[in-house]
Chains A and B, each alone.
Chain A
Amino acid sequence: MPTVEYKGKVYEVDEDGFLAGGLEVWEEDWVDYVKTIEGIPEVTDEHWVCIKFLQDYYKKNGIAPPVRTFSKTVGKPLKRIYELFPSGPGKGACKMAGLPKPTGCV
């Protein structure tokens, strides 16, 4: 399995760079790392609201939220989510929050 190194720590990731160990190994430094590869200048409170919501939803429901559930619950239009996470809610926000990549007919 591929690994990435950041601030002296080693993370196992899948081929698309999602955190292989998921929420169990997720930590704040991972957010910092994803910030650098995603080209996000600064992780703000707005990012954290999204990250926390995604993680809570995942813990409760066992799946990432559909995009519109995400947008409606955090009270941000999709356009704003894309501004915050340039790779989008799945490849950007979910990756940062330590959620797995969705599979299937998606």
Chain B
Amino acid sequence: MAKTLEQDELLSTIDYKPPKKGWMETKPSFKPGTYCYAALPKNLEVIDFPAPEWSPTDEDWKLPPNWKEIILEGMKDRLSKYRTFKLFMDICVRCGACADKCHFFIGGGDPKNMPVGRAELLRSIYRRYFTTAGKVLGKLAGARELTEDVLKEWWYYFYQCTECRRCSVFCPYGIDMAEITMMGRELLYLLGRGINWALEPVAKCYKTGNHMGIPPQGYKSIIEFFADEIYDITGIKVEPTFNRKGAEILFIIPSGDVFGDPGTFTLMGYMMTFHHVGLDYTFSTYASEGGNFGLFTSHEMIKRLNAKMYAEAKRLGVKWILGGECGHMWRVCNQYMETMNGPADFLEEPVSPITGTKFENAKASKMVHISEFTADLIRHNKLKIDKSRNDHVIVTYHDSCNPARAMGLFEEPRYIIRNVCNHFYEMPEETIRERTFCCAGGAGLGTDENMEMRMRGGLPRASSVRYVHEKHGVNRLACMCAIDRATLVTMMEYWVPQVAVTGVHELVANSLVFDGEKKRTVGLRGEPLKGYEGAEEG
């Protein structure tokens, strides 16, 4: 693994001056710290993808003799299947509105990380082989030959896009850059070329139901461990159930929340909130993953991995599905799931059993986001809250890219936080809500070997966190995504070490007052509450 640059060195090497040679002549340099390891054959084999043994830094990628045909046929097939792909290839006028909106461009300066530049890598091939102007005029029409160097460039830059879609907000034509990246990655997988940090979770998810590869007994024992933790801190016994037929609601969360801090505190938060209102829900050890790294791989994989949600809901006979604080899960569930895996006509239109609220927006997918569910509980006064229990934290909220831009979920998390915390401050307006800056580790890029790119791409987000830290003393960065909870921690340690990361439901649970609870002196992470700073833990 490459050693990460010191902060000053990183800042001093941001260079917005384009290279002297034209972009078609400039090859990417595979500098350690700026790319991820190649997808391993053992993982590719699990999902029946081509499984070459290779490394991105190899001079010769040992492509099959007919590789060009495979890619061009793949493009042709997708251009006919996906109207958006053709539209997004044709419609860009290269106005440049997106150019400075990407976090990787801002923190690095590589012109191919301008979203328009990144898309041009694929568009130039589209023009050459699928448009008359490109076939006849070639370079004059912005077309170029498909060569092995082009493939290398695709691989390098389509894995320097987190599919966060900030650029798309600014595009006057609404071009969805994530879909272009998805298409680039999908084409590369026709030759088995991808990254392992995305592909191993895909393979594990395909085998065990979740990205971590946690088998049923492990999944159950870990969640029960955290139920015991809740008991130790609050004296309240939550009793999670698994694969329970006849439960009213199936609850699906990102597996990161089961395994890694601070996600595990969010998991404790979910369980406490449900216990508080007596929700009839079950976990599943099969539909044990909300996230879907298929989204970072290919359309086919999205569908294959997501199928388990409806299948398990049907098997258990639940009424509807509730989903946890995951990010990209909601791009899939909100925008693709019903078409890909539906119709879920065996489920009911979701109604909160506690408040009677009908979630009209989830009528088709039958899946409700937990922040909608909890915000509704608060609105109906169903939670007994003591806000002062969060007085030890000064919170800001990071709009996780997909819940924000793929769902428009801006108000619910803020409503929840304002109701459970006394101290909440927004980051600057141009860096939140639909203009939120990415954690720079999404779409499968949140791995250690990619650390320099992550810290570069994290600079814009971190700068606005630092701003509210310095201005208001913010010490907690709340978010609604498990990738965030993994990658923002590293980003904060690097850029703003005074700020810790939290899920929204950790804040909720810290504020909840239960009948029969023991005196609370610490929060879920064992940190002393305000007024108990000198006291021993527990």
A residues engaging B (CB < 8 A)? 15-16, 60-63, 65-69, 102-106
Of chain B, the residue at the smallest CB distance from A90 is B260
Contacting residue for A68 out of B197, B204, B261, CB 8 A: B261
Q: A68-B229, A68-B261, A105-B260 are in contact. Are A62 and B213 (CB under 8 A)?
A: yes
Q: When chains A and B are docked, how far (Å) is the Cα of A67 from the Cα of B37?
A: 25
Instruction: Add 17 more A-B contacts to A16-B449, A106-B256 (CB < 8 A).
Output: A15-B1, A60-B217, A61-B218, A61-B221, A61-B222, A62-B215, A62-B217, A63-B214, A63-B218, A68-B261, A69-B222, A103-B211, A104-B204, A104-B291, A105-B256, A105-B446, A106-B486
Q: When chains A and B are docked, how far (Å) is the Cα of A79 from the Cα of B488?
A: 21
**A104: shortest Cβ distance to chain B, in Å?**
3
User: Do A66 and B448 touch (CB < 8 A)?
Assistant: no
Q: A60-B217, A69-B225 are in contact. Are A102 and B261 (CB under 8 A)?
A: no
Of chain A, the residue at the smallest CB distance from B204 is A103
User: Do A16 and B1 touch (CB < 8 A)?
Assistant: yes
User: Do A105 and B214 touch (CB < 8 A)?
Assistant: no
Contacting residue for A105 out of B37, B200, B218, B291, CB 8 A: B291
User: Do A104 and B1 touch (CB < 8 A)?
Assistant: no
**B287: shortest Cβ distance to chain A, in Å?**
15
User: Do B211 and A105 touch (CB < 8 A)?
Assistant: yes
Q: Does B103 contact A (CB under 8 A)?
A: no
Which residues of A lie under 8 Å from residue B485 when comparing CB positions?
A: 105
Q: When chains A and B are docked, how far (Å) is the Cα of A105 from the Cα of B205?
A: 12
Chain B contact patch, size range: 35 or more
Q: When chains A and B are docked, how far (Å) is the Cα of A63 from the Cα of B209?
A: 14
Q: When chains A and B are docked, how far (Å) is the Cα of A68 from the Cα of B256?
A: 14
Q: Does B259 contact A (CB under 8 A)?
A: yes
Closest 8 CB pairs of A and B: A105-B256, A104-B211, A61-B218, A105-B482, A62-B215, A106-B260, A63-B218, A103-B200
Q: Which of B206-259 contact A (CB under 8 A)?
A: 210-215, 217-218, 221-222, 225, 229, 254-256, 258-259
Q: Does B106 contact A (CB under 8 A)?
A: no
Q: Does B350 contact A (CB under 8 A)?
A: no
User: Do B217 and A105 touch (CB < 8 A)?
Assistant: no
Question: Which of A60, A65, A102, A106 has the most chain B CB atoms inside 10 A of its CB?
Answer: A106
User: Do B483 and A63 touch (CB < 8 A)?
Assistant: no
Of chain B, the residue at the smallest CB distance from A60 is B217
User: Do B259 and A106 touch (CB < 8 A)?
Assistant: yes
Contacting residue for A104 out of B222, B229, B255, CB 8 A: B255
User: Do A105 and B255 touch (CB < 8 A)?
Assistant: yes
**A38: shortest Cβ distance to chain B, in Å?**
14
User: Do B37 and A15 touch (CB < 8 A)?
Assistant: yes
Q: A15-B37, A61-B218 are in contact. Are A103 and B212 (CB under 8 A)?
A: yes
Q: When chains A and B are docked, how far (Å) is the Cα of A65 from the Cα of B223?
A: 11
Contacting residue for B215 out of A63, A102, A105, A106, CB 8 A: A63
User: Do A105 and B486 touch (CB < 8 A)?
Assistant: yes
Which residues of B lie under 8 Å from residue A102 when comparing CB positions?
A: 212, 259-260
Which residues of B lie under 8 Å from residue A65 when comparing CB positions?
A: 222
Q: A15-B449, A104-B204, A104-B211 are in contact. Are A67 and B217 (CB under 8 A)?
A: no
Q: Does B263 contact A (CB under 8 A)?
A: yes
Which residues of A lie under 8 Å from residue B213 when comparing CB positions?
A: 62-63, 103
User: Do A66 and B291 touch (CB < 8 A)?
Assistant: no
Which residues of B lie under 8 Å from residue A106 when comparing CB positions?
A: 212, 256, 259-260, 486
User: Do A68 and B264 touch (CB < 8 A)?
Assistant: yes
User: Can you offer 7 A-B residue contacts whose CB atoms are under 8 A?
Assistant: A60-B221, A63-B218, A67-B261, A69-B222, A104-B201, A104-B210, A104-B259
User: Do A63 and B225 touch (CB < 8 A)?
Assistant: no
Which residues of B lie under 8 Å from residue A67 when comparing CB positions?
A: 260-261
**B390: shortest Cβ distance to chain A, in Å?**
21
**B536: shortest Cβ distance to chain A, in Å?**
13
User: Do A63 and B212 touch (CB < 8 A)?
Assistant: yes
Q: When chains A and B are docked, how far (Å) is the Cα of A102 from the Cα of B446?
A: 12
User: Do B261 and A105 touch (CB < 8 A)?
Assistant: no
Which residues of A lie under 8 Å from residue B201 when comparing CB positions?
A: 103-104
Of chain B, the residue at the smallest CB distance from A17 is B1
Q: When chains A and B are docked, how far (Å) is the Cα of A55 from the Cα of B296?
A: 32
User: Do B221 and A105 touch (CB < 8 A)?
Assistant: no
Q: A16-B1, A61-B218, A62-B218 are in contact. Are A103 and B197 (CB under 8 A)?
A: yes
User: Do A61 and B215 touch (CB < 8 A)?
Assistant: yes
Which residues of B lie under 8 Å from residue A61 when comparing CB positions?
A: 214-215, 217-218, 221-222
Q: When chains A and B are docked, how far (Å) is the Cα of A92 from the Cα of B255?
A: 22
Of chain B, the residue at the smallest CB distance from A15 is B37
**B4: shortest Cβ distance to chain A, in Å?**
14
User: Do A66 and B204 touch (CB < 8 A)?
Assistant: no
Of chain A, the residue at the smallest CB distance from B216 is A62
User: Do B222 and A66 touch (CB < 8 A)?
Assistant: yes
